Structure 1
């Protein structure tokens, strides 16, 4: 892959970040708690393990002023998947930032693609940036990018994929993109698909079994349930065609058009079904973070004993919470003019409101924002689409401005962003956000 001058300059900044980071004696590695942040934290942690150097891990939900005050006594800090959005990092001592969110006024060393006119929301995740900085674990870089909804991979994400392929870490294949190709029995694979929900099959195992037989596919081989990965090429072709036709018949053309796409197999993680596919692995990692156990996700990335079983337990909780949240959201979407709004306060956890918004945003012609109760007030999450971004949408800037005007803090990417605002500023925030989107 031929790189542009901007991309080459960014890689030079990555080399500088690596040199400074690995010169630290005992840094605190501060990482975000989602899949991209967990993989970023693991890639960075692994670099210090390889060098047999001291280090400490500090995963966090957000980098607000309270976290800055918690870490202000630290002599050395490496921020990954955050750090570029809070100017108070300038108050800290020795700092390296590896981030991909919108940033302004940061004086510390920062490897951030946006500073090189590379879109951090679509072309490079934080984890992929970390894999370029430390020159290893490209499989985790791709996993974090997929978990950050940067799909399909292009730009420097694609460069990371190619490096992973060259090292035998990753295999890219065109496949059905539903969750659970390697980890779920066929009936569950269809019945509990979240992206998309499949009408008449969702939560109906009996219908799914009949549907499979109608496609000429046996759900079982003897007493063993078959998985999608067990099917022959012809069986896969029949199933994809039948699901696509069903979605089109139900008016879900947008879902049918994205049924098949590029998938990423992690060849050195094939021993565990839920870590073999990058999309499935990222979901497991999200489950760890969203249920307050990001350290389990980091351990899983590092293949530490016992971490897989712990992560699967968190995944079960996560799936139930997501299913409940999506069900609530679909019944409670309101049209607020320039955006759709889901008031999920008291119904959906703040840790998953962004995921829920993303799962109900498909095919919509306006961005979606959701609200949930958080420890510090109200958590706002927003999701757009590529076509909206191409038309000028920048949710990161809009949320940053709207939250700032009401005493909160916000930011993120053009296609997805979040904010935290005081509870008594909720209505004022909605008015302000609406005005900004209309501009």
Structure 2
């Protein structure tokens, strides 16, 4: 990472902080953020900054900043607005409707347009950093918070959670994310450990942890509940405690953990799995948290995502800020989210097996038009899960669609294998240019909102565009 780039970025953040400090404490700050884990983490950081500066504030969480949203927000009786994880792709809307207002935009999506003079626009892309891999919106908000007051460095863990939620952790961080992680570690907010590459080390029952071990295939165990229970007994790790409750990995003794790791490696080795010892990854532990949903940063980010996707973003913000009552409700929301995922995936599997016209397959694409059968806020999650499914070959486009209540349709695009040289955001932008709508996202996770009556046309244009690709 170039020190010159970082200094330029820091200078812009300091100017933004100086501008922000000029606002009278009697003003109410209008805060708008995105509904995913990164957006919720970003909003939580800004809220803590506002509270420490004794500002009052009003918060809204949006799925996407459409032109009508910008117009409605600008008509509200506020003078100062902060956009997190939104805005860089909608500068034309902000310029058009927020004249005479003071606006701060902290985003990491690709920039479209140039901000007017009343808009303080902070985006890493304008300083040579990749916002899809080197820093998330929560990271941008954290660096702004740090520029406001170094005491805000104690919020670094929220930026790490946001980056993980935005899938920017690839067995380590790079760029500005790495700098932020180092701050979080130095402040004692994050502890980095080597651990098994399994999701749910803190909360899932051991046998379920192994049954769902899609990231490290364990022959005879992965996808096999009874096989997982039998495996644990074979290696001398009792899956049930003395009270008859299922045990979690976090509750094992050190000796049991070692037996489990050795058992997994030997099981993979015996089955001829390539690189059988490749079962470890970085685990980001929040040492101030008790074992549970908030101790592992990856599990924390999933919980935040669940809150946002089900319209409970305020619970996610409360969880980030340590509100115990909100945390209990957030855990309940996570359980509802898991049920919604199961329901959505069952719908998909049923329609694939029945040959439904809602699932369109081509040489290098699969298009899923869920219409009203899957929540629009969930369709991106479903597309991501399908794109990571081993049933599909690499370089297959996964386009999913679901309807919003306002006669628009949410579109999400992913690709299996995440090949180099493919920019999904540019593909979605091209489709939107042909059909109409608004596009956004990153290289490997992009989306759009289109009019529902344009679904058929959008699908036909997408098929033609995908078929022209040679990845």
Q: TM-score, normalised by structure 2?
A: 0.84
Alignment of 1:160-171 (within 5 A): 160-171=180-191
What does residue 43 of structure 1 align with?
Answer: 45
Structure 1 residue 145 displacement after superposition: 0.6
**Cα separation, partners in 2 of 1:339 and 1:4, compared to 1, 3 Å:** farther
Segment of structure 1 superposing worse, 414-423 or 360-369: 360-369
Corresponding residue to 2:168 among 124, 127, 150: 150
Deviation at 1:222, TM superposition (A): 2.4
Q: Using the TM superposition, name which of 61-70 and 18-27 deviates more.
A: 18-27
Return the match for 1:172 from 179, 187, 192: 192
Aligned-partner Cα distance in 1 for 2:336–2:48: 28
Match of 1:79 among 70, 79, 83: 83
Counterparts of 1:46-61 in structure 2 under 5 Å?
A: 46-61=48-63
How far off its partner does 1:161 sit?
Answer: 0.5
Q: Which moved more, 1:117-126 or 1:376-385?
A: 376-385
Deviations 1:90-133 (A, max 9, x none): 13121110001111113132111111221111111101111111
Q: Does 2:143 correspond to 1:102?
A: no
Residues matched between the structures, number:
431
In the aligned structure 2, how far is the partner of 1:197 from the partner of 1:340? 25
Name which of 295, 320, 336 aligns with 1:301. Answer: 320
Task: Give 1:226 shift.
Answer: 2.5
Mapped partners of 1:358, 1:246: distance in 2: 31
Deviation at 1:262, TM superposition (A): 1.4
1:420 has 2:449 as partner: yes
> Helix, strand or coil: the match of 1:131?
helix
CA contact (8 A) 1:264 1:278 kept: yes
**Map of 1:164-243 to 2, 5 A cutoff?**
164-192=184-212, 201=221, 205-223=225-243, 224-231=245-252, 232=254, 233-241=257-265
Separation (CA, whole Å) in 2 of partners of 1:402 and 1:33: 24
Q: Which residue is 2:356 aligned to?
A: none
Match of 2:376 among 350, 363, 382: 350
The equivalent of 2:95 in structure 1 is: 90
Q: Tell me, which stretches of 5 or more residues in structure 2 are unaligned?
A: 147-152, 353-358
3-state SS in 2 of match to 1:321 = helix
Q: What's the CA shift string for 1:184-223, capped at 9, x where partnerless?
A: 2212323456768978656754332112113332213423
Q: 1:405 and 1:247, CA in 2 relative to 1: closer, same or farther beyond 3 A? A: farther
Q: Give structure 1 stretches of 5+ with no counterpart.
A: none
CA distance in 2, matches of 1:155, 1:54: 34
Larger-Rg structure: 2
Distance 1:417 1:400 in 2: 9
Secondary structure, counterpart of 1:45 in structure 2: helix
Q: Deviations over 1:381-402 (max 9, x none)?
A: 11236742x2x21111211221
Q: 1:140 aligns with which of 158, 171, 175?
A: 158
Q: Which moved more, 1:162-171 or 1:214-223?
A: 214-223
Compared with structure 1, are the counterparts of its residues 339 and 266 closer, same or farther at alpha carbon in structure 2 (3 Å cutoff)? same
Q: CA separation in 1, counterparts of 2:197 and 2:21?
A: 38
Once residues 426 and 62 of structure 1 are traced to their aligned partners in structure 2, the CA distance between those partners, rounded to angstroms, is 18
Q: Which residue of 1 aligns with 2:135?
A: 124
Aligned Cα RMSD in Å?
2.6
- Please give the TM-score of this superposition, normalised by the length of structure 1: 0.90
Query: 1:329 and 1:149, CA in 2 relative to 1: closer, same or farther beyond 3 A?
Result: farther
**Is 1:374 aligned to residue 395 of structure 2?**
no
Correspondence for 1:408 among 421, 432, 437: 437
Residues 411 and 449 of structure 2 are in contact (CA less than 8 Å); yes or no, is this contact kept in structure 1?
A: yes
Matches of 1:266 and 1:300 in 2, distance apart? 13
Q: Secondary structure at the match of 1:320?
A: helix
Contact 1:335 1:341 in 2 (8 A): yes
Equivalent position SS for 1:289: helix
Task: Please identify, of 301-310 and 400-409, the stretch whose mean Cα deviation from structure 2 is larger.
Answer: 400-409
Q: Is the 8 A contact 1:338 1:434 kept in 2?
A: no
Q: Do the aligned residues in 1 keep the contact of 2:303 with 2:330 (CA within 8 Å)?
A: yes
Q: Distance in 1 between matches of 2:272 and 2:133?
A: 28
Q: Contact (CA 8 Å) 1:357, 1:383: kept in 2 or not?
A: yes
